[in-house]
Amino acid sequence: MRNILIIAAGELLRFFRMRSILLIMFGLPLLLILILGTALSGVFQDSEEGYQLEVVKVTVLNGDEGVFNEMILEFLNLPELQPYMLVEHVDSRDELFEQYESGEIDYGVVIPVDFSESVLSGGLTGWELIEGDSNEKNIVVRTIFETFLSQVNEMQARVLVLGSEEVERLFNQDLNLQFEFSSYVEIGSLHKNKSSTSAMQYYAASMLVMFLLFSGMSAAISLSEEKESNTLFRLRSLPLHPNTIILGKLIGVGAFSILQAILIILFSTFVYGVDWGDNYLTVFYVIVLTIVSAASIGILLYSFLKSSKSISAVYQAIIFVMTFLSGGMVPSLGEFLNSLGKFTINYWSSNTLLRLMIESDSTFILNNMLVIVSISLVLALLAGFVYWKVGYHE
Amino acid sequence: MSFIQCENVVKRYDDLISVDHLSLSINKYEIFGLLGPNGAGKSTAIKMICGLLKADQGQIFVGGVSVKTNSIEVKKSLGLVPQEIAIYENLSARENVKFFGKLYGLRGEELNSKVDLALEFVGLTERKNEKPIKFSGGMKRRLNIACAIVHQPKLIIMDEPTVGIDPQSRNHILESVRKLNEMGSTIIYTSHYMEEIESICTKVGIIDSGRLIALGTVEELIDQNKMEDKITLIVDFVPNEMVFELEIHPKIKNVSVNDQTIQVYLNSSETYLQDILFILSKHDVKVHTLKREDPNLESLFLSLTGRSLRD
């Protein structure tokens, strides 16, 4: 064990002697988080204020004077709807269209004169919805009115089943003709306090994972360079167990990556204001498991590629493709590419870190962790098998 | 009692036999020179002695310990100076030696004093805090040695430690080898430079095609071959026909030509010198210089293997 630590310490010392590596591994992720987090902040919701819908100006021409009139008026004045639409009434169709064409209103509704009568007689009727230019506003108002009309449809169904007389009797006796927002669905939150992540949080997680993957590349290059610089030959002539050398080197690279992760987390927390959540132990597990996966890929590449240059080229390509597919550069890539992203280490590690940031339900985090553990385990076993076959010698 | 004992050692790479039933014994405190052209099997033999390669057949013992069954124990008592420089360029000279010293099990004050001693021994004390990237080839070679001797091993194996360095560094290294030997280390030394082997080795083994073809002290080997002479002639031109005639002469063992210099290896030059001069005059070749050299390891090597050591 002591010799493993000596080799690990030597590995760390050599890393710290390479200024260019230090600059890339410590400085670059912080710079990328700043650039991407700032440049693409518009793509993300503001996590504190939430997304604000504009109030839609709606003009209603209500020709109905039947039993539903009171219910319609009550519905249009419901306080729950005030944040979404501002209702104005007109007396004629001409007036409505005049306002609509002048751009004074966003949406128009015409309720026919015989609306109540038609509903009660089980006949065909409907509201005329005049949509405006804004698709977003149209969706908001359409959804509100369709909700109301679905209740009216329900009443009409009763008419068809029970007959209009029976329904009218019910109306007159005990049916409370009041519109109510009733739902069988209770909307809750799977995240404790926070609804979504900011751009800074998103890129802090994705850049952390990307640079943790670079640790695997460093390990593979270090293994290869030890061979190229003939120091492996000397190390093998020392009184060491064969596995001591590779274990020491991997632990050295792992320790360097953990230091790198600590720096990224601390710097992004105190300088960029990134909130990493309060489950630091799980964050640590994600980091360690990502390093294990990265190192395993490193051993596999080292076993199949001959020089440190080819390892570097292939590993960099793998990292960038995985980071891109997982949405580490641009969050949304379309359905196909997003589904491919689920086959990357980056996706699961970043996703878990993001869920930890917003304090998601523990079931989600546990599921993600199971996937990360499985990926690490499979890659580690594969790397172990290949190492056992190929070995580490000059 | 032999310190190193190789018994009928065989190593094959697929169909190629690299070491062919090698049996060898090296006594304690010897400087053993291992000679052989490239591909002769000496590096493979060294790797097997160091426990870096397993022999397919036979046994190797170092200090009575079997390399096959206890290579870690054997490795504790040896220091390998590889042919290629094997140091970390981004660590200082002292950090390099200290790193390997720690892995040899040295600790604390003993580690520090032995590191300083090793650096002093190879003459790098004044530059111990500099990185080897700034060093000359000779200084790197010396650091290469320091990393192998920091734990003061009983056995030091030096594989071509003087390749590509200046004469000053070479002399320094040769002097270091003698000192290490005087301090109690047994040394196996391989080199292409015959004069190095002749000047420092107390015993020499010549290996070719994986087989040990000669073994003994330098004097013993030369005595075995004292009938062999080398004549060097510098001539005005070298016609091919003349070289051919020299080569087919029954008493001439080998002819090598380099520009206007001809080297002829033969048995008893006193008897056959007139034959050589007759062949030269037949082709109107004028001799500017003629030199007869006493037998040495190089002529012995050529005599035994039919080729030069640098072939």
pLDDT in tens, A167-191: 666 666 544 455 555 555 555 555 5
B 141-200 residues inside an 8 A Cβ radius of A: 147-148
Nearest-by-CA chain B residue for A225 = B88
Beta bridge partners of B212: B207
Across the range B274-295, mean pLDDT stands at 86
**Strands B2-13, B57-62: parallel, antiparallel or unpaired by DSSP?**
antiparallel
The structural domains of chain A, ordered by start, are 2-44+201-390 (no CATH), 56-173 (3.40.1710.10)
Instruction: Report how far residue B70's alpha carbon sits from residue B59's, in angstroms, rounded to the nearest whole number.
Output: 12
Under the banding of pLDDT at 50, 70 and 90, the label for residue B100 is very high
Interface contact A221, partner B, CB < 8 A: no
Contact check, Cβ <8 Å, A239/B73? yes
**B271: amino acid identity, one letter:** T
pLDDT at B210 over 90: no
What pLDDT shows up at residue B232?
Answer: 87
Considering only CA atoms, which of B181, B281, B193, B187 is closest in space to residue B233? B281
* Nearest residue to A240 (alpha-carbon basis) of A228, A256, A259, A226: A226
CA atoms of A230 and A245, how far apart (whole Å)? 14
Q: With contacts defined as CB-CB under 8 Å, which chain A residues touch B76?
A: 239
**Separation of alpha carbons A27 and A376, rounded Å:** 27
Q: Give the up-direction half-sphere exposure of residue B130: CA atoms within 13 A in the CB hemisphere.
A: 12
Q: What is the mean pLDDT of residues B25-31?
A: 90
Chain B residue with CA closest to A230: the answer is B86
Burial of B299 (0-12, 13-18, 19+ CB in 10 A): buried
What would the two tokens of residue A155 be? 């009443």
**B112 CB-side CA count, 13 A:** 2
CB nearest to B103's CB, from A3, A17, A393: A3
CB-CB neighbors (< 8 A) of B78 in chain A? 237
Contacts of A261 (CB under 8 A, 6+ apart): A208, A212, A287
So where are chain B's domains? Answer: 2-221, 227-294
In this complex, do A238 and B100 lie within 8 Å of one another by their Cβ atoms? yes
Q: Are strands B65-66 and B57-62 parallel, antiparallel or unpaired?
A: antiparallel
Instruction: Looking at A229-241, list the stretches that DSSP marks H as alpha helix, in order from N- to C-terminal side.
Output: 231-236
Query: Which residue is associated with the tokens 């060294």?
Result: B46
- CATH fold for the domain made of B2-221: Rossmann fold (3.40.50)
Chain A residues lying within 8 Å of B147, measured CB to CB = 234
CA–CA distance, B226 with A391 (Å, rounded to integer): 49
Q: Is the pLDDT of residue B85 over 50?
A: yes
* Sign of the alpha-carbon torsion through A389, A390, A393, B3: positive
Is the distance from CB of A354 to CB of A202 less than 8 angstroms? yes
Report the alpha-carbon distance of residue B266 to residue B141 in Å, rounded: 38
Tell me if A239 and B104 make a contact (CB, 8 A cut-off): yes
**Chain B positions in Cβ-Cβ contact with residue A230 (cut-off 8 Å):** 82, 84-86
Query: Is B52–A3 a contact, with Cβ atoms under 8 angstroms apart?
Result: no
Q: Is A192 in the B-facing interface, judged by CB distances under 8 Å?
A: no
- The answer to whether residues B31 and B177 touch, using CB atoms and an 8 Å cutoff, is yes
Among residues A161, A160, A159, A189, which one has the least CA distance to residue A175?
A159
SS (H, E, C) B130-182: CCHHHCCHHHHHHHHHHHHHCCCCCEEEEECCCCCCCHHHHHHHHHHHHHHHH
Q: What is the largest CA-CA distance in chain B?
A: 76
What contacts A292, CB < 8 A, 6 or more positions away? Answer: A376, A379, A380
**B189 membership: H or E segment, kind and range:** strand B186-190
Between B308 and B142, the more confident residue is B142
Q: Which two tokens stand for residue A24?
A: 């890339």
Taking the C-alpha atoms of residue A264 and residue A277, their distance in angstroms, rounded to an integer, is 15
Alpha helix ranges (H) inside A305-344 = 308-325, 335-341
Helices (H) and strands (E) in chain B, counts: 11, 14
Q: What CATH number was assigned to the domain covering residues B227-294?
A: 3.30.70.100
**What is the mean predicted confidence (pLDDT) over B247-255?**
83
- All residue ranges of chain A with pLDDT < 70 are 41-52, 164, 166-196, 391-394
Chain A residues closer than 8 Å to B51 by CB: 237
pLDDT at B101: 93
| CA B63 – CA B51 distance, rounded (Å) | 14
In this complex, do A239 and B72 lie within 8 Å of one another by their Cβ atoms?
yes
Question: Would you state the structure tokens that stand for residue A174, as one six-digit string?
Answer: 């005990």
Residue pLDDT, tens place only, A135-170: 888 888 888 888 888 888 887 787 778 776 766 666
**B155 contacts in A (CB within 8 Å)?**
none
Given a cut of 80, whether residue B140 has pLDDT beyond it is: yes
The pairing of beta strand B228-235 with beta strand B287-293:
antiparallel
Question: Measured between alpha carbons, how far is B7 from B105 in angstroms, rounded to an integer?
Answer: 30
Pairing of β B31-35 and β B57-62: unpaired
Chain A interface mutation, best of B67, B90, B111, B144, highest count of A Cβ atoms under 10 Å:
B90
Contact B279, B249 (CB under 8 A): yes
Q: Are strands B155-159 and B186-190 parallel, antiparallel or unpaired?
A: parallel
- Does the pLDDT of residue B307 top 70, yes or no? no
Q: Looking at this predicted complex, what is its ipTM?
A: 0.77
Tell me how far apart the alpha carbons of residues B209 and B162 are, in angstroms, rounded to a whole number. 24
pLDDT at B279 over 70: yes
Residue B87's pLDDT is what?
92
Bridge partner list, A56 = A85
Pairing of strands B252-258, B211-216: unpaired
Nearest to B24 by CA among B220, B219, B223, B203: B203
pLDDT confidence of residue A251 = 92
Does the pLDDT at position B310 exceed 60?
no
Q: Which of A202, A193, A350 is nearest to A268 (CA)?
A: A202
Q: Which of A233, A235, A244, A394 would best serve as a mutation to test chain B binding (most B beta carbons within 10 A)?
A: A233
> Which of B305, B294, B251 lies closest to B276, judged by CA?
B251
Greatest mean pLDDT among A182-191, A302-311, B84-93, B160-169: B84-93
How many helices (DSSP H) and strands (DSSP E) are in chain A?
16, 4
Distances (CA, A) of B85 to A20, A177, B158, B253: 24, 95, 12, 38
Q: In chain A, how long is the greatest CA-to-CA distance?
A: 103
The size of the A-B interface in CB pairs under 8 A is 63
Per-residue model confidence (pLDDT) at position A175: 46
Looking at residues B258-272, what average pLDDT do you find?
Answer: 77
Alpha-carbon gap, residue A367 to A13, rounded angstroms: 38
